[in-house]
Amino acid sequence: MKMLAPANLDELLQSLAGNHARNEKFPPFTLTALNRVVEHAPEDMTVVVEAGISLEALQKKLAIGGQWLPIDPPRPEATSIGDLLNANASGPRRFGYGTVRDYLIGIKVALADGRVIKAGGKVVKNVAGYDLCKLFVGGQGSLGIIVEATFKLRPLPEAEQFVAGHCESFDQAAGLMEAVLASELTPVVVDWHRPLPTATRQACVVVLGFAGTRAEVDWQLAKAAAMGITEPASLDYETIFWAAESRPHRVSVPPPRLAQAIEKLGAVEWVARAGNGVAYYRGGTPPPKGQVPVELTRRIKDAYDPKHLLPELTW
Amino acid sequence: MAAPTHGQLTPPILDQLRALVGPENVVASPDELLVYECDAYTLERGLPNVVVLPRTTGEVAAIVKLCATENLPIIPRGAGTSLSGAVLAVTGGVMIALTRMNGIVQIDYQSRRALVEAGCVNAWVTNAVKSRGLLFAPDPSSQPACTIGGNVGTNSGGPHTLKYGVTTNHILGFELVLPDGEVVWLGTTPDGGEEVDGYDLRGAVIGSEGMFGLVTRVLLRLIRAPQAYKTMLGVFETVDDASQAVSDIISAGILPAALEMMDQLITQAVEAAYHFGFPLDAGAVLIVELDGLAAGLDRQAEQVIAICKRNRAREVRLAQSEQERADLWKCRKRAFGAIGRLSPNFMTQDGVVPRSKLPEMMRFIRHCSEKYNLRIPNVFHAGDGNLHPLILYDEREPDQIRRALKASDEILNQCLALGGSVTGEHGIGVEKIDFMEKQFSRDDLEAMRALRRVFDPEGRCNPHKMFPGSKRCSDFAPRKQIAA
């Protein structure tokens, strides 16, 4: 099937409109032409942006005003704002900043029948009408095509640094994490990753990230060092994990149960958002299927895409 | 969408309700029903036919199923502190008040989660966990009374949303009784992980103003209490200067936990009521609260003080103790209560503008005050651009009601003209229905109605809210007067 590349919103709407048969799937498309930053108002800490721009390109523009969208999924250069929202993608810093649904304040969507709807707005607090924005975050493009999004932003931190501690067992890692979370530290990253194969006596590397003013970061580094977490680190393990082409499995449990869940995976490649209780892994057995309210899900799909022209939601 | 026609409450149905929950949990006498005729938006009123006070999810589901069988409207209610008529029984119906389901079911300190019943009062949660250094972030001014279920229904805010976000950012999941009586759990389950497959139905229900069903149990995210606070009171000659300081603080890359403004009129009323020591001759006062690690706060506080001084602040006071900080917040959160000293009645608006438009919007409100010859004090979440003009009137004078509504409409229209919203945290309810068509297109509204039909195909749950064309209370004359 040919890849559609509409030059603008009207072209996209024209290809959607018209008389389509049920299940006549809309062809694969790319929105690379819709790549404008429509409005960045640093004094309002908000941005309106078209969905085709890459996250990396957006961050570069926001940085000029000293701000950023604090979402850090893998491969930001290859992730468009549309991709980010459709997949509800996230990265290590989600422990400190949350996920993209916490920052999305407005959305413009092309529906399957070629109509355009907007939800939310461009102010940071807004409860007029239902919060339709949420339906499209993680909706996998199954309810409509996101063409524009409005986000609230954060100031870029003055400093950011990572430190690691090595643990010989998952019990030790879990204990260390609990101690960190019960302390006065306010890490933005609480990750675990698999040690290098040469580090035979280790089970797990605990990585903490601190961000904020220089003084805040320095104070936290000293405090972490006192807890035995001293080794300067980076997020390279994350980049390496996601460089592989195949999509990993994901397991999500309450954080105190993560150690057990990872141990059960056996000898696989893995990386974990330990503070959130989320682990990604390649190989091994897929996690059990999630419980989804099937009837409500079906009705939502039928309400927004009655002819099922867009992809079906999978889980 | 044609207005739905519903059944009537008959004596046999009333008997069945009494049998389901026990007669002591059913309110049906006209005197007692009066308590339930409105929320904190008192201009429009309507009596439910009966109020049922269930104690378990099972009872809620049984009541809802009976209502489904008998085609009766259902009106969910918490503490009734909402400000837009969101819990008004416009055409009667069965009100289900969750106030007797008010327990904290379970607190999981390790996962930092609390499972509570919908009728649990907001402030109880933080009170229960603060000895362990945790808190529940959403802190609406009504927090000593409002319920968690109500917070979910209206996606409540509060003064600390600037840094911490609103209710939706702190709710992991909840149990929902659908309008047909089916019980579902949406979002993260009490023993589940935070990643949830499928659509974010949790997020879609939060803020739906009780139109998608009844929330019965809620799983809350708890956060660590900050290590330190710096709470400052900036005293300004004019609202303009204070507004500009707000914009400058945000532009400087500082993210305070709260940035609240009170103008002269409200400051005077608050001072008369609570004797905090506010200056009576200042044009506006600004509460700036920084929180986080002590290590970073001194320098940020210095920056804030410098910005205030640059905007001609007369003085900037720093709260010297936790007691002083608590007193300051008590004054701010009880500000609405002080209005009784100024006027027999007031109408609170809740418009939002982009922060940078704040000075312009405040000038517009002053203009409306003069134009309609009504006093309009302001106490609001300046850091979010979320205004709360309090339009003072006397309901014994019909012309004052008319002028108050006109001023209110003009202010909200101006919020929209400046790229904002007609409500930041109070909701649409019945009060702001007429603005939905101004803020949203027909297709936008149809997309919302489509979601309503997913959850409530018969439109029986909290009917006559949110959407244009909904029935208003039949005796509500002032709106007609304006329209005429």
ipTM of the complex: 0.97
Question: For residue B336, what pLDDT is reported?
Answer: 85
| Total tally of structural domains belonging to chain B | 3
User: pLDDT tens across A20-63, in order?
Assistant: 999 999 999 999 999 999 999 999 999 999 999 999 999 999 99
Residues B157 and B242 in one domain: no
For residue B350, the chain A residue with the least C-alpha distance is A126
pLDDT at A266: 86
B142 and B232 inside one domain: no
Q: Is B180 on the interface with A (CB under 8 A)?
A: no
Q: Let me know if domain A159-282 sits in CATH 3.40.462.40.
A: yes
Range of the domain at B139: 104-224
Distance from CA of A75 to the nearest CA of B (A): 20
Strand partners, B51: B27, B95
> What is the average pLDDT across A295-313?
98
Q: Are A210 and A160 in contact (CB under 8 A)?
A: yes
End residue of a domain, out of B224, B250, B282: B224
- Per-residue pLDDT tens over the stretch B392-445: 999 899 999 999 999 999 999 999 999 999 999 999 999 999 999 999 999 999
User: A253 pLDDT exceeds 70?
Assistant: yes
Average pLDDT over residues A231-259: 95
Q: Searching chain B, which residue's CA lies closest to the CA of residue A314?
A: B198
State how far residue B253 is from chain A, nearest Cα, in angstroms. 5
> Is B253 in contact with A66 (Cβ distance < 8 A)?
yes
Contact state of B445 with A43 under an 8 Å Cβ cutoff: no
Is residue B451 domain-resident?
A: no
Are B370 and B387 part of one and the same domain?
A: yes
Q: Do B348 and B323 sit in the same domain of this protein?
A: no
Cβ of A129 within 8 Å of Cβ of B439? The answer is yes
Span between the terminal Cα atoms of chain B, in Å: 25
From A212, A252, A297, residue closest to B194, measured CB to CB: A252
CA distances to A10, B3, B4, B474 from B91, in Å: 44, 12, 11, 9
- Determine the pLDDT at residue B472: 66
Residue of B82, B434, B454 to mutate when probing chain A, most A C-beta within 10 A: B454
Task: Give the mutation candidate from A13, A62, A94, A124 for the B interface (greatest B CB count, under 10 A).
Answer: A124
Domain edge (last residue) among B187, B205, B224: B224
Domain A9-156: which CATH class?
alpha beta
Which of B293, B298, B388 best tests the A interface by mutation, with the highest count of A CBs <10 A? Answer: B293
CA distance B7 to B463: 13
What tokens does B47 get?
């009596």
* B250 token code pair: 């945000």
CATH code assigned at B301: 3.30.70.2190
Task: Provide the 8-state DSSP code for B281.
Answer: S
Q: DSSP labels for A25-63?
A: PPPPB--TT---EEEEEGGGTEEEEETTSBHHHHHHHHH
Q: Are residues B302 and B378 in the same domain?
A: no
pTM of structure: 0.96
Identify which of A138, A278, A300 has the shortest CB distance to residue B193.
Answer: A278
Q: Is residue B34 part of a domain?
A: no
Closest CA to B233 of B295, B338, B322, B308: B308
Triad A101, A104, A110: Cα angle to 5°: 105
CB contact (8 A) between residue B253 and residue A155: yes
Confidence of residue B473 (pLDDT cuts 50, 70, 90): low
A78 touches chain B (CB under 8 A): no
CB contact under 8 A, B296 and A216: yes
- Is B355 a member of any domain? yes
Is residue B140 within 8 Å of residue B194, measured between CB atoms?
no
Could you tell me if B154 and B265 lie in one domain? no
H helices present in B55-212, as ranges: 57-70, 122-129, 148-154, 161-164, 201-205
| pLDDT band (50, 70, 90) for residue A290 | confident
Q: Report if residue B71 sits inside a domain.
A: no
The verdict on residue B349 lying in a domain is: yes
* Span B236-243, average pLDDT: 95
Q: Do residues B237 and B216 both lie within one domain? A: no
A10, B346, B372, B437, B438 from B404: Cα distances, Å: 43, 9, 8, 21, 20
Which positions 157-196 of A are in contact with B (Cβ < 8 Å)?
178, 181, 184, 186
- Residue B386, chain A, CB below 8 Å: the answer is yes
- Whether residue B357 is contained in a domain is answered as yes
B427: left (phi over 0), alpha (psi -120 to 50) or beta: left
Closest to B198 (Cβ–Cβ): which among A46, A156, A315? A315
In a domain, B32, yes or no: no
Domain range summary for chain A, segments of one domain joined by +: 9-156, 159-282
User: How confident is residue B477, by pLDDT bands cut at 50, 70 and 90?
Assistant: low
Cβ <8 Å between B451 and A135 = yes
Same domain, B366 and B264: no
A197 touching B, CB under 8 A?
A: no
Cα–Cα distances in angstroms (integers) from residue A293 to residues A27, A290, A315, B117, B420, in the given order: 28, 10, 12, 21, 35
Interface of B with A in 340-379 (CB under 8 A): 352-356
Boundary-marking domain end, from B334, B367, B394: B334
List CB contacts (< 8 A) between B207 and chain A: 127, 130-131
Q: What phi and psi values does residue B313 have, to the nearest 5 degrees?
A: -65, 135
> Same structural domain for residues B288 and B196?
no
Contacts of A297 in chain B (CB under 8 A): 198-199, 201
Asked if domains A9-156 and A159-282 share a fold, the reply is no
- In the predicted structure, residue A76 carries a pLDDT above the cut 70: yes
Domain of B156, CATH number, reads 3.30.465.10
pLDDT at A146 over 70: yes
- Determine, for residues A254 and B157 on separate chains, whether the beta-carbon distance falls below 8 Å: no
The confidence band for B296, taking pLDDT boundaries of 50, 70 and 90, is confident
